[in-house]
Structure 1
Amino acid sequence: MDSSYPKFTLGAVITAEQEDFFNQNGFIHFKRFIKPETVNDIIQASSLVQQKWIEKQQIKVNGIPIKYGKDLDGSTIVQRFAFINQHHPLFTELTLDPRFKTLLELIGPGARLGTSEKDGMVLNHYVNGPESKFTQMGWHTDGLRDIFQGTRLNPMLNVGIHLSHVKPENGGLRILPGTHNQSLYHMLFRKKYFLNTNADVNEVAIAPEAGDLTIHDGRLWHRVAQSTVTGEASRRRVIYLPIIAGKYEPKHEKSPTAFYQRFANLVK
């Protein structure tokens, strides 16, 4: 489980070195995308959204189920916020950062931020405590949903903005480099979707600091490992925002819950 891969700095363009690394491995890690004070502001803003949703007893956002759980003190928390960019101006502002236009180069013409598609901007809040219900996620690819919905497999990248310092023992993202170039058969059957949470001898541990940005290809096999520590040291927050191409398919408040969302109960 290696985490000693190269890290880069995001500039005005994607360099040839960065593009080559991403094309070969299916992921890339940029250091210090946002400042520590911005990280703190984002966490505070998510707490306000959480309070509003708990008070309203909101179940879904644009057809996507909200995942609730328990904090270390037993209080109710939101552990997976979908479309959070539509529920607080700070998250809306974050999506307007001009550096995202640079990231679109990794797909090319027709690429866009999925602020109103898929699950929008998602904020995941993991904590490993006695009553936790969201501590890990089994192996999967993000492209599976297109197949379930009967559409062609469109280009998709998942952009992660990390709000916590993460060491391998804290759990977090694990990826299998190069699997974005696999056949459709291996994309479907290489592992048991979500049920398989076991470590893979070839996996790479993504170990960001708060404020870092990562990108992984939607066809890449990845999982979220459970923290081996408990309590406050296990707390991790990360934002994900898709870069997509293909037909524009926005979600709205009357959007149905998709078939693949049935797998949500397999995420613990």
Structure 2
Amino acid sequence: MAEKLKRPLLLVGCGKMGGAMLEGWLASGITAAGVFVVEPFGADAFASRPGVTVVPSADELPADLSPQVIVLAVKPQAMSAVVGAYTKFAQPDCLFISVAAGTTIGFFETHLGIDASIVRAMPNTPAAVGQGITVICPNAKASAQQIAEADALLQAVGETATIDDEALMDAVTGVSGSGPAYVFLMIECMAKAGVDAGLPEDLAARLALQTVAGAGHLARQSDDAPDQLRRNVTSPNGTTQAALDVLMADDGLQPLMTKAVAAAAKRGRELAG
């Protein structure tokens, strides 16, 4: 288990992503010093949890609160209206972690001050079951200890990776941040194709879901790379090869996926203004 925080953690926003991370932190024990949650639209499920205090606005936080880490988990479009309430915490010993897509480190340095310690992070929704992956990018003021704290917090909900070039975050968003939706869509499409081929709807849905889940688990556990795993299940002139001839055509899955990731990355840059 990672070293526990010595002072409270403040979570701003407790929607699906914020709630998923909070579940992971509570389970890991890393936030033993307590968690304060600012969430105006709910978080009732956490209000009765030991060590968790939920308030509807920043104005209702204790006057003497001194958080070690503040995690900003509100939507990018709301960040400008929210972040100003937390400038009083922008001291060298307080780390800000943002999980808002398209919201740059420069944005936070403008609103919190150039001396604020900031880590920009991009998690994804499998964090809800402890299977997420989060890429973090620190600013120059974040100390090695604070970067380690961010890494430990985000490892509580899955794997982590660190980059130094913030310009890569839009591509990260396009691949892993938005990526679960692509996989869910693939499950939908496989199930629909099964129905079109004559399968009962419930059986087609079950086959598609377990095939994607099982293949992902196999890819994770195997020493073989995905391209080799694909070859392993593809017999020359067999049924899988017939399907792959469609998916791997010049207008098949790869150019479509490349276009999709590029569109997500472009939208991330647009959100950054």
Q: TM-score range by the shorter chain?
A: under 0.3
> Comparing both structures, which one devotes a greater share of its residues to strand?
1
More helix by share: 2
Compute the TM-score of the two structures, normalised by the length of structure 2: 0.24
TM-score, normalising length from structure 1?
A: 0.25
